Chains A and B, each alone.
Chain A
Amino acid sequence: MADEPQFTITIDQNKYLPEGGREVHAVLSVESTGGAAGGAPQGSAAEVVIIDTSGSMSYPDTKLRAAVAAAQAAVDALRDGVFFAVVSGANTASMVYPRQAQLVPLDERTRREAKQALGRLTAQGGTAIGSWLRLADQLFDPFQNGVRHAILLTDGKNQHETAEELDAVLYRTQGRFVCDCRGVGTDWEVPELRKVSQMLLGSVGLVADPADLVADFRAMAEAAMGKNVADVALRVWTPQTARVRFLKQMSPSVADLTAKRVESAPQAGDYPLGAWGAESRDYHLCVEVPPGEVGKELRAGWIKLVVPGAPGEEPRVLATANVLAGWTDDPAQSTRMNPRVAHYTGQAELADAIQEGLQARKDGDLDTATARLGRAVQLAGEAGNDAITALLRKVVDVEDAATGTVRLKRNVDKVDEMSLDTQSTKTVRTRKGEG
């Protein structure tokens, strides 16, 4: 593991609580640097590309042709030696390449054959995303020691299985592989695909123009090749009688990890973070502690970044940090909110406000939609999240950004609305000088 990157955890918090205070907030910045350029994965890296081939993909036919071209570009971007497969999804999932339900090592021949097989794809049938994921899970099964990544492309709603069926598959496959999801066109459901991506620790994106798929797939495949540490987890120890209220990934995007906790040691639980390359992500941790007397200082959270050890061995600890709590009777100390905690608290509220506002708009509750999207405009402005501000301005007319006074636009392009919805979880880091 000489080429393994170096991990660091940095804590930003105001440890001081007022007398009787119970909630400890901290931003955990996890960063990895170094490691072999281009990735030198532990175990064998595995990649599965899943292309929606339901009937709608040929209306128009350019959609299927673009998806095929994108999948071919992704195969091109994969490193030789990576174990891979291509799957097509309709009412059920079927192997595009190889024929057998297994992964094969990528080389000149298999790359050529896979691309040829993709070129022969036709579109017919429905959409049952759960069944596609189930096949992917089966393919990844022998490769649990390495980085496991899937790309899933769809253009429609999950119509040919129930929501419960999809949930059951997601529950079973979470932690088994990371899946980035893309929706092409505007006939798919943002919340549905967002849920799939969050359960599987991946991203969700809208590709409005099929012509843009190639670049997007190539970028995803390249990013996947940059991951060289699989199954990283945040182990959070808390004092007896304390509990984790929430743990959310806050950068690069908002994802609530609270429910993903797996008890791992006395007073400790693991939160899966997926695979890592050279990158940094931020998390917001909130721990509820029993109130302490003034002057007392606690370790409210003992944070360890862990990866699975060799078979039969304890997990390896890559980095550690402490989240502290100290009680004071000095209001000047206890009321000062850490700027990064404040920033991400606002960003989390921003994502909620956008999603709730768009849902209310869809449901015809225009008052709620106006109020929530107005609040979103205000929060995006305060945080300097210019990308979100630009998207919001395509959905609402802003009268006063500072107070969040807006009017809903009468005619909104479906693409703009979906784009805002998918981008709602994208955050910006604290502006320079504030952190």
Chain B
Amino acid sequence: MTEDPSIVKTAELSCPACDEVVYAGEEFCEACGHRLSDEPPVVASPVAPAGACAGCGASAIDADGYCEHCGLRQPAERDHLEVELPGPGRPLAAGASDRGRRYSRNEDSIALTAYAGGVAAVVCDGVGSSPNPDEASLAAARTGAAELAAALEGGADAETATHEAVLKAAAAVAALAPSPDSAPSCTYVSAVTGPGTVTVGWVGDSRAYWLAAPAAGSAGQDTADLDTADLDTAEQNTADLDTAGRGTGPVTLAASRQLTADDSWAAIMVARGALSEAEAEAHPNAHVITAWLGADAEQVRPHVRTFAIDGPGTVLVCSDGLWNYFPQAGQIEAIAGDPGADPAGTARTLVARALEAGGRDNITVAVVPVTGRGNGA
């Protein structure tokens, strides 16, 4: 990548992802399907048709949002959202977000955007104990995705762009607070795919995972066992990375694994060796987060990590509404279907499975398939 944004614009004569020659006016690269045009971050759209009752189909919805026939409260726009970044043949990425079964509104937000080198996905989870957490998460996700797209198009490297985007999102959330005592707040996690890499950044306990593409011919159960075994090593690598810093070059992703490490009480207890993972998870404080975006947050220190990719797989970004039920990467992989072919289907399925499991929290999932080194998004 170059420092001069003007050069990026002229470089549209070749695909930024695969270097294949492309032509002005083409929306996608003919060779790899990479999206070529500038796109604003996609921030989801409602799926229920407006005007007719979602319950009985009557076309009499009053100003308060209730059906005048059957009384059903009509789903709010954010109650269930699905979003897709279109591409040639298959979507570049997809996401879904749902209110869940216990909360009266959806306080999660999701934003997806394509840039010249790949895709950026942001998921934010409003902190329930803060005022207007839904506004906080929306501001953070929109700001984060817009900043990522602008910085990456401007030639910034993924880690710098990720770091700056978190800080801009944090500022946007802090600006919502009328006073420090009344501070809307949220978590933040982003994933940026680029040629041969994925860079994640986060504050709080929303997560990113790597889901390896199923090996041809291997039985599902074998894969799951293998994944669990690999996971332990992978998590160990993550821990190593924290202590060793970023000097030794990116870890190359193989088996499915978690890419982030929660800013949570449980994670701290485990990291200190004070409690086992099971003990920490069973504790009432387990999900208390230790970092967030908001006017009442101390200095925001984004975690940023980059991983190398040398084979096909999927980057999954989600709120705790999903991972509360399926914490292990192998568990997610086992129910994810075929994200490479149908990322929207995977997002929808994972949300549905979390709902079936209880839907205790808002659930948000972003699915970004990657085809491997040299093949961009």
Partner-B contacts on A (CB < 8 A): 238-242, 267, 289, 294-300, 302, 322, 324-326, 328-330
Residues B73-101 near A (CB distance < 8 A): 73, 99-101
With known contacts A322-B64, A322-B66, A298–B72 Cβ distance under 8 A: yes
Across chains A and B, which 5 residue pairs bring their CB atoms closest together, nearest first?
A239-B71, A297-B73, A299-B66, A299-B71, A298-B71
CA distance A267 to B69 in the complex (A): 8
Q: Are B70 and A240 in touch, CB under 8 angstroms? A: yes
With known contacts A299-B66, A302-B66, A322-B66, A329–B101 Cβ distance under 8 A: yes
Q: List 5 A-B contacts (CB under 8 A).
A: A240-B69, A242-B71, A295-B100, A298-B71, A299-B67
B102 cross-chain contacts in A, Cβ below 8 A: 328, 330
B60 nearest in chain A by CB position: A266
A325 cross-chain contacts in B, Cβ below 8 A: 71
A322 cross-chain contacts in B, Cβ below 8 A: 64, 66
Q: Please, what's the 1-or-0 string for B189-226, where 1 marks a CB less than 8 Å from any CB in chain A?
A: 00000000000000000000000000000000000000
Residues B334-370 near A (CB distance < 8 A): 358-359
CA distance A238 to B56 in the complex (A): 15
B102 nearest in chain A by CB position: A330
Q: How far is the CB of A59 from chain B (nearest CB, A)?
A: 60
A294 nearest in chain B by CB position: B101
Q: Are B101 and A238 in touch, CB under 8 angstroms? A: no
B73 cross-chain contacts in A, Cβ below 8 A: 296-299, 324
Q: Are A239 and B69 in touch, CB under 8 angstroms? A: yes
B355 nearest in chain A by CB position: A295
Total residues of chain B contacting the partner, CB 8 A: 17
Cross-chain contact of B71 among A294, A295, A300, A329 (Cβ < 8 A): A300
CA distance A302 to B61 in the complex (A): 13
Cross-chain contact of A297 among B72, B100, B358 (Cβ < 8 A): B72
Known pairs A322-B64, A329-B101; list 15 more (Cβ under 8 Å): A239-B72, A240-B56, A241-B70, A295-B100, A295-B101, A296-B55, A296-B73, A297-B72, A298-B71, A300-B71, A322-B66, A324-B73, A325-B71, A328-B101, A330-B102
Cross-chain contact of B70 among A239, A326, A328 (Cβ < 8 A): A239
B70 cross-chain contacts in A, Cβ below 8 A: 239-241, 298
A328 nearest in chain B by CB position: B102
CA distance A169 to B110 in the complex (A): 67
Q: How far is the CB of A178 from chain B (nearest CB, A)?
A: 33
Q: How far is the CB of B271 from chain A (nearest CB, A)?
A: 32
A329 cross-chain contacts in B, Cβ below 8 A: 101, 358
- With a 10 A CB-CB cut-off, give which of B66, B104, B359 has the most chain A CB atoms: B66
Q: How far is the CB of B128 from chain A (nearest CB, A)?
A: 15
CA distance A74 to B73 in the complex (A): 52
Q: How far is the CB of B112 from chain A (nearest CB, A)?
A: 26
Q: Are A238 and B72 in touch, CB under 8 angstroms? A: no
Q: How far is the CB of B280 from chain A (nearest CB, A)?
A: 24
B66 cross-chain contacts in A, Cβ below 8 A: 298-299, 302, 322
Q: How far is the CB of A343 from chain B (nearest CB, A)?
A: 26
Q: Are A296 and B72 in touch, CB under 8 angstroms? A: yes
Q: How far is the CB of A116 from chain B (nearest CB, A)?
A: 59
CA distance A297 to B56 in the complex (A): 13
A324 cross-chain contacts in B, Cβ below 8 A: 73
- With a 10 A CB-CB cut-off, give which of B64, B69, B70, B102 has the most chain A CB atoms: B70
A327 nearest in chain B by CB position: B101
A238 nearest in chain B by CB position: B71
CA distance A109 to B104 in the complex (A): 66
CA distance A200 to B56 in the complex (A): 40
- With a 10 A CB-CB cut-off, give which of A238, A240, A242, A322 has the most chain B CB atoms: A240
B358 nearest in chain A by CB position: A329
A242 cross-chain contacts in B, Cβ below 8 A: 71
Q: Are A295 and B359 in touch, CB under 8 angstroms? A: yes
Q: How far is the CB of A400 from chain B (nearest CB, A)?
A: 41
Q: How far is the CB of A53 from chain B (nearest CB, A)?
A: 54
A240 cross-chain contacts in B, Cβ below 8 A: 56, 69-71
CA distance A144 to B359 in the complex (A): 57
Q: How far is the CB of A223 from chain B (nearest CB, A)?
A: 36
CA distance A298 to B73 in the complex (A): 5
Q: How far is the CB of A409 from chain B (nearest CB, A)?
A: 51
CA distance A308 to B66 in the complex (A): 26
Q: How far is the CB of B314 from chain A (nearest CB, A)?
A: 29
Q: Please, what's the 1-or-0 string for B41-76, where 1 marks a CB less than 8 Å from any CB in chain A?
A: 000000000000001100000001011011111000
Q: Please, what's the 1-or-0 string for B164-185, where 1 marks a CB less than 8 Å from any CB in chain A?
A: 0000000000000000000000
Q: How far is the CB of A428 from chain B (nearest CB, A)?
A: 33
CA distance A241 to B100 in the complex (A): 27
CA distance A393 to B66 in the complex (A): 50
Q: How far is the CB of A244 from chain B (nearest CB, A)?
A: 13
Q: How far is the CB of A328 from chain B (nearest CB, A)?
A: 7
Q: How far is the CB of B46 from chain A (nearest CB, A)?
A: 17
- With a 10 A CB-CB cut-off, give which of A295, A298, A324 has the most chain B CB atoms: A295
A267 cross-chain contacts in B, Cβ below 8 A: 69
A241 cross-chain contacts in B, Cβ below 8 A: 70
Q: How far is the CB of A287 from chain B (nearest CB, A)?
A: 10
B74 nearest in chain A by CB position: A297
- With a 10 A CB-CB cut-off, give which of B55, B73, B359 has the most chain A CB atoms: B73
Q: How far is the CB of A300 from chain B (nearest CB, A)?
A: 6
CA distance A325 to B73 in the complex (A): 10
A239 cross-chain contacts in B, Cβ below 8 A: 67, 69-72
CA distance A372 to B11 in the complex (A): 91
Q: How far is the CB of B5 from chain A (nearest CB, A)?
A: 47
B99 nearest in chain A by CB position: A295
Q: How far is the CB of B249 from chain A (nearest CB, A)?
A: 47
- With a 10 A CB-CB cut-off, give which of B55, B64, B101, B358 has the most chain A CB atoms: B101
CA distance A302 to B69 in the complex (A): 11
